[in-house]
């Protein structure tokens, strides 16, 4: 999947934590469709953060019928400037050295 996501102009996906971290790490604009079948609706909360930051468009699964998802994707694919702004916003949310920060925190806890 990393190669596919890296080559994509726009990503259509769910909004789980791993997906969110991948999107922010590679600065990819996205249309997020949170799964309605998760604990505490955490995917909607994840997607909302990215949408409010300008990096993603949030569509509830119930709103994806009648061509709405297709229309949203087609609209974004036609608007290169908007996708660039979204990519920039997405990248600003990423933490490129997250693994190193976690490692450093664990070392501090152990000492």
- Banded model confidence at residue 99, pLDDT cuts 50, 70, 90: confident
pLDDT at 3 over 90: no
CATH 3.40.50.2000 fits 2-110, yes or no: yes
Residue 46: C-alpha distances to residues 21, 30, 84 (Å): 10, 13, 21
- DSSP summary character for residue 11: E
What percentage of the chain reaches a pLDDT higher than 70? 100
Query: So what's the pLDDT on residue 51?
Result: 98
Residue 15: C-alpha distances to residues 12, 24, 40, 107 (Å): 10, 12, 13, 31
pLDDT at 64 over 80: yes
- Cβ neighbours, 10 Å, residue 73: 17
Both tokens of 94, joined, read 């990423």
Once rounded to an integer, what is the mean pLDDT over residues 59-66? 93
pLDDT at 2 over 80: no
Average pLDDT, the chain: 95
Domain boundaries defined on the chain? 2-110
Once rounded to an integer, what is the mean pLDDT over residues 36-58? 97
């Amino acid at each position: 999947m990393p190669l596919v996501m890296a080559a994509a102009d726009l990503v259509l996906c769910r909004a789980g934590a791993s997906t969110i971290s991948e999107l922010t790490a590679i600065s990819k604009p996205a249309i997020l469709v949170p799964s309605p079948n998760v604990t505490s609706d955490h995917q909607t909360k994840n997607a909302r953060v990215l949408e409010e930051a300008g990096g993603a468009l949030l569509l509830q699964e119930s709103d994806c019928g009648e061509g709405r998802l297709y229309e949203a994707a087609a609209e974004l694919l036609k608007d290169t400037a908007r996708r660039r702004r979204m990519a920039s916003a997405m990248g600003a949310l990423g933490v490129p050295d997250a693994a190193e920060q976690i490692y450093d925190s664990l070392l501090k806890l152990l000492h």
